[in-house]
Chains A and B, each alone.
Chain A
Amino acid sequence: MQLKHSHPGKTLPLRRKLMAASYALLGATAVRAQEFNGAPADGGVLGRLLDGLTVDSALAYYHEDGRVQAVEPVVDINKAFANGQSLDLNATFDVLSGASPNGALTSRQPQTFASPSGSSFTGKHTYVVNPGQYPVDSNYSDVRVAVGASWNVPFTRLTSMSFGGKISGEDDFISATVNASIAHDFNEKNTTLSFGVSNEFDRLNPVGGAPVPGSNYDLFEKTGAAKTKDGVSALLGVTQVMARNWIAEFNLSVDRFKGYLNDPYKISSVLDAAGATTGYVYESRPEQRTRKSAYLENRAAWNQFSAALSLRYMQDNWQVRSDTAELRPRWTLFDGNHYIEPTFRWYRQSAAYFYTPWLLNSDQVEFQSSDERLGAFHALTFGVKYAQKLHYQEDRPGSEFSVRFEYYQQTFNQPSAPTALQGLDLLPPLKSILVQVGWRY
């Protein structure tokens, strides 16, 4: 069934009623039906442009306690055409600043580090971390711009394909991704089977050059040449309508990345037997990583209440295992024009096999990293969103204004500290907040 544009005319109310009935029959999973209602009744160039157009935008502010903060505006424009095709364009702009952990360990002695652009431990390109303080580079800043597009093409009444691409650039990093997927409906459109592949190409130009992995931090062994990594991903998914008020999705995915997978700004402390810091080395990660994940999402609704529960299990050949559970209940309030949606998320991961909070002088290892993101920890997210439907455009029931707040905390498994470091908070928790305002037209 092809959805047709509405045309100006006196029979518009009846047509809209018929369209609304058609959309209800089709369901909104494959087609965001309500968006077709957006055409102004008087048509014209503007009317054709706005017909099937959805603009979704948000401005987010992210703040970590004592570390990084970011401002992130995002906009997504989706245009649905009369032939069933749709084009989606999106753009993201990130401005980050603040302090980022450098991987070194807290010490009872002052520690002097060189900024990424520095080539010695004297002068302005250095920073000093006081005794007992968690080592962070407080001069961290970055700007990220990302643009993406995707094109959805229905081939038959039951089969559609999607093609997409994305380019993301930072001061020291650029990434390009292309993807394609196919989806097929069967069982009266109660079941959708989809398969997609993605290919990503990344190029790194670290500030000050890329350090030789595992090399002595004091020697500034860096190369000016850009580093690359690339990856392929595949995703197989099943979406199933379970009941009139229940839909489920199950995905299996695998991805493989190879190349320069280090964080060029992360180092590890080297300790003597008593726990005193004797030096630092740059981290050294394997040059290949394969991840597999399973994802299950269920959504159900009862009158004014609905809920989404998602579960994910992931493992990789770095021996990271993780579990994620997220619950988003939603209460629709008053006349149906407001809703409140709390968020609860629980996450835990095991450490990569080469993760170590520190190295000993006697250690001889091929791979090592003290990047806490590869360590064992659990994280909790609590959030709430409030949204209000906007009725100045009665033909756009999807229009809404929203505000969202989230609190996120990571708690790390504490290592058994050497005598000289006992009593220090070696892996302090990460605490952050996110505030977001959104507007959808």
Chain B
Amino acid sequence: MRYRHLSIFFLLAAGALASGCSSIGVKPWQRDVLAQDSMQLNANPLDTAIDDHLYFSKEASSGGRSYAGGGCGCN
């Protein structure tokens, strides 16, 4: 049941994003903070790649942030 709750949460989040897209955001001259390194969605791609490879080889889940990938021979 708790997984169903989580799914509903994600659906609501998606709905909020989709419905609010046209009215939220910033003007082009307000992007100073968004331009910072720490605000990039994959700010440290190598850290992410190394972590994802670790988790991929030790857990049954992968992907989400990007494509899941099917195996490294270790899983």
Contact = CB atoms under 8 A, between A and B. Distances in A.
A349 B72 CA distance: 20
Interface string A340-358: 0000000101001000000
A312 B3 CA distance: 11
A349 B59 contact: yes
Contact of B71 (A24, A202, A438): A202
Interface stretch (A11-19, A165-173, A419-427): A165-173
Interface string A222-257: 000000011101010011111111011111110101
Given A24-B31, A238-B14, A239-B41, A170 B26 contact: no
B72 A58 contact: no
Interface string B60-75: 1101111111111111
A contact residues, range: 35 or more
Contacts of B46: 56-58, 74, 76, 438
B67 A436 contact: no
Interface in A45-89: 56-58, 60, 62, 72, 74, 76
A177 B25 contact: no
**Chain A: interface secondary structure?**
strand
Given A202-B70, A250-B13, A313 B7 contact: yes
A311 to B, nearest CB: 8
Contacts of A316: 60
A355 B49 CA distance: 28
A26 B34 CA distance: 10
A243 B24 CA distance: 7
A142 B69 CA distance: 19
A231 B75 CA distance: 14
A248 B13 CA distance: 10
Contacts of B40: 28-29, 32
10 contacts: A23-B35, A32-B40, A190-B21, A200-B69, A245-B34, A255-B68, A291-B68, A318-B60, A408-B54, A432-B54
| For the complex of A and B, 9 pairs with smallest distance between CB atoms | A190-B25, A173-B73, A295-B64, A27-B31, A312-B64, A306-B38, A294-B10, A231-B70, A198-B67
Interface of B: 3, 6-7, 10, 13-14, 17-18, 20-22, 24-41, 43-47, 49-51, 53-55, 58-61, 63-75
Interface of A: 23-29, 32-33, 56-58, 60, 62, 72, 74, 76, 92, 142, 144, 168, 170, 172-173, 175, 177, 179, 187-191, 196, 198, 200, 202, 204, 229-231, 233, 235, 238-245, 247-253, 255, 257, 261, 263, 291, 293-297, 299, 301, 306, 308, 310-316, 318, 320-324, 330, 332, 339, 347, 349, 352, 373-374, 379, 385, 398, 404, 406, 408, 410, 430, 432, 434, 436, 438
